[in-house]
Structure 1
Amino acid sequence: MDVSRRRFTLFCGLASFVLAVISWILWLLLTPTGTQGTFVLVIYRGDTFDQVKLELERQRLIRSRFWFERLARWKGLPTKLKAGIYRIPTPISLWQLTKWLAEAKPELVRLTIWEGMMAREIAERVERLGLGEAEKFMEIVKNPQGKVRLPFDWQGDLEGLLFPATYYVPPLRPGDEAYLVQLM
């Protein structure tokens, strides 16, 4: 009788522990975090999944990096996540966040270059949109050799060669002005 009572006590203790662990995991995955409203997540061109994960953790949208990584990898998030601006509705649970990020289409910055615009005007627009510094942009336009690959042999500046169009560009970090010139 004494042995069966010990087994029963051990079983109850183990079952309680397992239930506590499962409850904790469910709390991490399903309980919403964040304040009421919208959180704006900016993923810059070239950002890694680890950088995004750290930003989400810093903003307290994820409680457990371990479980976020598992869910994200399960949903293929590291390969699906693109640079852009994400407006995440909060509060949001970890489960909902990974699902939302896997399915969301990021906003891009719209940059319109009209025919006849001077490089200086384009540079000012680039700076106004937060895509880079006007001076760095102009420096690359005036001296593109070694900074951008041109599809033709060209010596001199690129004034007049920047193609007029509407470009949808992901947010850029400082120093990515060459990417814009290459794009145009």
Structure 2
Amino acid sequence: MSLTFTLDPAVTPELRDGVLDLWTDVSNAGGAVGFVPPVTRETVRPELLKHLVGMSEGRTRLVVGHDEDGRVAATAFIAFNTHRLMTHWVWLYTVMVHPSHHGKGYGRDLLAAAADAARGLDGVEAIRLTCRGGLGLERFYGSCGYKEVGRIPGAIRVAPGDDRDDVIMLLPLG
């Protein structure tokens, strides 16, 4: 089985709720997507709304993966740079695969779908993302072609006394 990826799907209540459930489940499983467990849907909802506003304003694109049952199983948000000297690369945010699908290669598939989407954007030459250190994410992204280009020690505080590096990764699209 594999996921079916769509760029810029219609934002229906089902999609919105599916992304919200995914984000909540990934966060509660310990995923590094902006929260520390435990979280509720109501905790996550304001962050999702920010992404949806970005989509409605044309600043953000969504790559969503649906599983064979039609459920939202993976997402990556592509955000354009607003600085006129940095429009040749995009940000990748909120990259996540549902925990029930871990180990199936869907993370690699999601990153490939996001790269394909970015290649189709006029003038975009690279994708940049950040990830939380201490979880092995930089090794995963590295195995998908991303290179570590920077690291800010202790920039992410997940709990008192538990600071993590903010790791900056880049994927040239050329």
If the length of structure 2 is used for normalisation, what is the TM-score?
Answer: 0.20
- Structure 1 or 2, whichever has the larger Rg, is 1
Give the helix-richer structure, 1 or 2. Answer: 1
Give the strand-richer structure, 1 or 2. Answer: 2
RCO higher in structure (CA 8 A, sep ≥6): 1
If the length of structure 1 is used for normalisation, what is the TM-score?
Answer: 0.19
